[in-house]
Amino acid sequence: MAEILAVGEAMDRALALLEGGEVVAIPTETVYGLAGDATNGIGVARIFEAKGRPRFNPLIAHVADMAMAERIALFDPLSRKLAQAFWPGPLTLVLPQRPGNGIHPLVTAGLDTIALRMPRGFGGDLIGRLGRPLAAPSANSSGKISATTAQAVAADLGARIRLVVDGGATPVGLESTIVKAEGNTLRLLRPGGIAAEEIEAATGMALLRGGGAGVEAPGMLASHYAPGAAVRLNAETVGEGEALLAFGVRRAQGWQSATAFLNLSQTGDLREAASGLFAAMQELDRSGARTIAVEPIPFDGLGEAINDRLARAAAPRDKILPPT
Ligand code: TXA
Ligand code: MG
């Protein structure tokens, strides 16, 4: 079983494991990541193995600072502006790779682009100490809900990894927003922890959505984030044997008969809802309900990413959706 160490006492152990080509689960501001040295093929292969992740699905490389980022990728002015505005933070930029950057090709699944992000907190410190980028997908078995606590990581991956660094519950609770500059336009490849409106405000540009020419976010499988129970969205009523995931003050009809009940935010606060979403889905799933009914959640701000994750949780388990 994986050892769980608090952030204050985990640095040396995490560094030693990463130097040895092992993987380590670490907290970031978004969700927990399963990190390996992005320049070490063995470390990167272990990430795919521990998650059971298909190898065609590329990983995000995490950096400590802008100098490291510029050694890995070629920044256009728009992407640099976004990095300045939102790094460190829950934004991932897809950029052309700088030739000879030392990133192992497994990280990018052979693409000539790379997804880069600068995390806040322990992850950033760890990368700075290691002096090399860390490849880190979310620390969950492929297709399952991302982990937002060290305990959730240990319950899922504990038998397959050596160390989980415990930084408490991750504050944002949703994965990073992924954006790609295409010429003079910006495309949203994955809604996430920074609302599209914030990016639009910082750049004065509207974000394009949907698959543009040549755009792919290979990891956007519909059944991602799937709990064991079925998920039913925009529930106005609660059916027999259903648990209810509520939002705000207006209740679905028959809510009193729900087999289990959680409210993402009594006050209708989307940030609060985002930070508790995955833990709430896991808790309702553990209640043994056949179906989790979910009340309607607005699409503005972080609501876009919340609705994206819920739609993936509700999708048929073998279907592939294009990126939103
Ligand atoms: O918040 C996050 O982003 C977390 C934390 C740990 O940093 N990481 C995360 O990684 O969510 P992961 O592997 O679960 O999701 C990365 C997504 C996948 O959908 C993948 O297909 C996409 O990024 N991706 C990676 N490289 C890409 C590229 N070059 N072009 C387009 N999409 C890419
Ligand atoms: Mg993931």
The answer to whether 148 and 279 are in contact (CB under 8 A) is yes
pTM: 0.93
Assign domain 3-209 one CATH number from 3.90.870.10, 3.30.70.20, 3.30.70.920, 1.20.58.220: 3.90.870.10
Q: How far is the CA of 59 from the centre of ligand 1 (A)?
A: 5
Q: Where are the domains of the chain?
A: 3-209, 230-314
State the closest ligand 1 atom to the C-alpha of 178, by its place in the atom list counted from 1: 23
In contact, 143 and 154? CB cutoff 8 Å: no
Can the peptide bond before residue 105 be classed as cis, meaning omega within 30 degrees of 0?
no
State the pLDDT at residue 143: 85
Cβ atoms within 10 Å, residue 257: 13
Task: Tell me how far the alpha carbon of residue 50 lies from the centroid of ligand 2, in angstroms.
Answer: 13
- Mean pLDDT of all residues belonging to the chain: 93
Q: How far is the CA of 113 from the centre of ligand 1 (A)?
A: 12
Residue 302 CA to residue 6 CA, distance in Å, equals 29
pLDDT, tens digit (0-9, with 9 covering 90-100), for 293-304:
999 999 999 999
Pick 230-314's CATH classification: 3.30.70, 2.60.40, 3.40.50, 1.10.3470: 3.40.50
Could you tell me how far CA 10 lies from the centroid of its own chain?
22
Q: Kindly give the number of the ligand 1 atom that is closest to the alpha carbon of 35.
A: 6
Handedness of CA 246, 251, 252, 257 (dihedral sign): positive
Most informative mutation of 23, 92, 312 for ligand 1 (most atoms within 8 A of CB): 92
The percentage of residues in the chain with a pLDDT greater than 70, rounded to a whole number, is 93
Q: If you write DSSP's letter for every residue of 219-258 in order, what string do you get?
A: T--TTTT--SSEEE-S-SB--TTEEEEE-SSPPPBTGGG-
Query: pLDDT tens-digit profile of 57-102?
Result: 999 999 999 999 999 999 999 999 999 999 999 999 999 999 999 9
What ligand has the least distance to the C-alpha of 305? 1
Verify whether ligand 1 is closer than 6 Å to residue 58 (CB atom).
yes
Distance 53 CA to ligand 1 centre (A): 12
Distance CA 142, CA 116 (A): 20
Residue 263 Cα to ligand 1 middle (Å): 28
Q: Is 38 in the pocket of ligand 1 (CB under 6 A)?
A: no
Say yes or no to pLDDT of 213 above 50: no
Lowest mean pLDDT among 49-58, 189-198, 209-218, 314-323: 209-218
